[in-house]
Each structure stands twice: as structure tokens, then as C-alpha cells.
Amino acid sequence: MTTKFCLVKRKLFLTFLIIYLVFVTTACNGSQKTEPVEKSNFALNTIITIQAYGPHANEAIDKAFERILEVEEKMTTKDDLSEVNMINKKAGDGFQAVSTDTFFVIKKGMQYSESTNGIFDITVGPLVKLWGIGTDEARIPSNEE
């Protein structure tokens, strides 16, 4: 049900949500002129840059990156014990308890899949894995596969 491709899409949604929240919480009023604070970090398999204004911009950016990394840890396919991998291991064999974050992202993914008539496909995981998309072992599968 989940894949590296789908995870990236879901994580990007959460990233944009976090960036929006950081922007809203650190926006300064029009009478103050401050220089922006900008930080970059590698997470969710991409470089993320956050820019914020205001007296607490550094702290807000640091908290945003902490949150992004927290979400990534829960949903990464690189960790055998992540919530997503635990879901995949139990697929068809029962239920797996997950955090509110993971539940939200999967629910949103299903809604996007439905609203796009399958153009965004939350179930594309087996194909991504077969082709090795996003890995150093990307390849075109054989006809037998």
C-alpha cells in the first residue's frame, strides 16, 4: 500500500504544511523590518530550505526541522521498524497501530488517489520497488518480472 514514491508525496504535503505553519507563526507585523533567517537541511530525500522572519525565527525553523525529521522517522522505508514498514509487514495479516501522523498521511493519500481518479496512486509501491526507483539499483525489470 505504501511506497517510497508515495511516502515522498505524503511527506512533501506534511513539509508544506509545516512550512506554512512556521510562516504563519513567525510572520511579523508591517511596522517591523527584520532580516529573514534561512536554514537548509536534508530530509524526506530532498533538500529543504525554510525562511522565517521575526524575533523567534531561528527557534521556529529549528522546531520545523525537528518536526519534519520526526515525521520522516515514522514513515521512512529505510528503517525496518518504521510505522510504514510495520504496516507493510502486516499487510493482509492484521492491523498495525500507527501514530496520528501516519494515519493522517495515509488517509490524505487515499483521498488524493480518489479525487484524481488514480493519477496519484497510493498503492504504487510494488512497482517502485520492482524498478528500484529512488535507489542506486534502479533498473528496467525483465519481461518475466
Q: What is the pTM of this model?
A: 0.64
Between the CA of residue 3 and those of 27, 55, 121, 123, what are the distances in Å?
A: 35, 39, 10, 7
Residues 98-126 have pLDDT tens digits of 999 999 999 999 999 999 998 988 877 77
Is the predicted pLDDT of residue 24 greater than 80, yes or no?
Answer: no
Q: How many domains does the chain have?
A: 1
Q: Determine, yes or no, domain membership for 139.
A: no
Predicted local confidence at residue 134, as pLDDT: 78
Whether 42 maps to a domain, the answer reads yes
pLDDT band at 11 (very low <50, low <70, confident <90, very high): confident
What was the pLDDT predicted at 12?
A: 72
> Is 39 part of a structural domain of the chain?
yes
Whole-number average pLDDT of the chain: 85
Q: How far is CA 124 from CA 7, 63, 119, 127, 137, in A?
A: 11, 32, 10, 6, 18
- Whether 22 has a pLDDT exceeding 80, the answer reads no
What is the distance between the alpha carbons of residues 96 and 124, in angstroms, rounded to a whole number?
20
In-domain check, residue 49:
yes
Q: Is residue 143 part of a domain?
A: no
Is 144 part of a structural domain of the chain? Answer: no
- Asked whether residue 46 is assigned to any structural domain, the reply reads yes
In a domain, 124, yes or no: yes
Domain range for 51: 4-131
Is residue 54 scored above 80 in pLDDT? yes
**Residues in contact with 32: Cβ distance below 8 Å, sequence separation at least 6, in sequence order:** 54
Q: Check if the beta carbon of residue 72 is closer than 8 Å to that of residue 11.
A: yes
Across 73-92, average pLDDT: 88
